[in-house]
Amino acid sequence: MSDSDRIATLEAQVAELGRRLTVREDELDIRKLQHLYGYLIDKCLYNETADLFTDDGEVRFFGGIWKGKEGVRRLYVERFQKRFTYGNNGPIDGFLLEHPQLQDIINVQPDGVTALARARSMMQAGRHKDFEGDQPWLKSRQWWEGGIYENTYKKVDGTWRIHILNYMPIWHADFETGWANTRPEYVPFPKETYPTDPTGPDELIEGHWLWPTHKLTPFHFPHPVTGEEIVAQRWEGDEAREKAKG
């Protein structure tokens, strides 16, 4: 191999290592961003939470879509902050809301400015009996929640931001009785859009579901070994039981 060929090979290797290093740094930055999101909503810092989003970002949550900077603030500040913390931007006595961010799988896209991620949250929440109010969401209670994120991120001026927060709550359970006794639609889905509902979503999502209904939240990536789309069979209830009996 000539000197010029060796130099060209080394330059190509350095370029590839630089690309791979950039991808790993992007993954770490996105992980930090998502984990920070969890810490901020833990402590009801809703203004700071809204600032994590792109200007054209959106939140897909509980069967609704809140669009753009105005929609994101309507959800976190106008809806959550006013309901949960009486308008206070920060934690209040007697209200617990913990959101661990777990099992994140991050895929930076070839353009280097878009990324997709799947992650999980396991929320512990409740309101102490000495701090309850007169609205349903202010009553004394303690509950669990588990959900899946399938999020999109964008790098804006060199900084990663949340572009689409697609959070699918999967199950809830009262602490006292557990998930075997969870009532359907434990948290009511939005029924009206903004402005009919002043803090409602801009659009409703069809086919939203909660435990005890149980479906697969679609993966944004194929199976890493087979390359095939990851698809689950849909349970057919009594019909499936009869087929199994033969």
| Predicted confidence (pLDDT) per residue in 172-231, tens digit | 999 999 999 999 889 889 999 999 999 999 999 998 899 999 999 999 999 999 999 999
The token pair that represents 139 in the structure block: 């009553």
Residue with tokens 């191999």: 1
Task: Express each pLDDT in 5-43 by its tens digit.
Answer: 787 888 889 888 889 999 999 999 999 999 999 999 999
Of 3.20.20.80, 3.10.450.50, 3.40.470.10, 2.40.10.480, the CATH number of 3-211 is 3.10.450.50
Domain ranges of the chain: 3-211
Output the pTM of the full model: 0.91
Task: Express each pLDDT in 71-111 by its tens digit.
Answer: 999 999 999 999 999 999 999 999 999 999 999 999 999 99
Burial 34-63 (b: 16+ CB within 10 A, else e): bbebbebbbbbbbebbbebbbeebbbbbbb
- CA distances (Å), origin 122, targets 3, 12, 29, 201: 57, 44, 22, 24
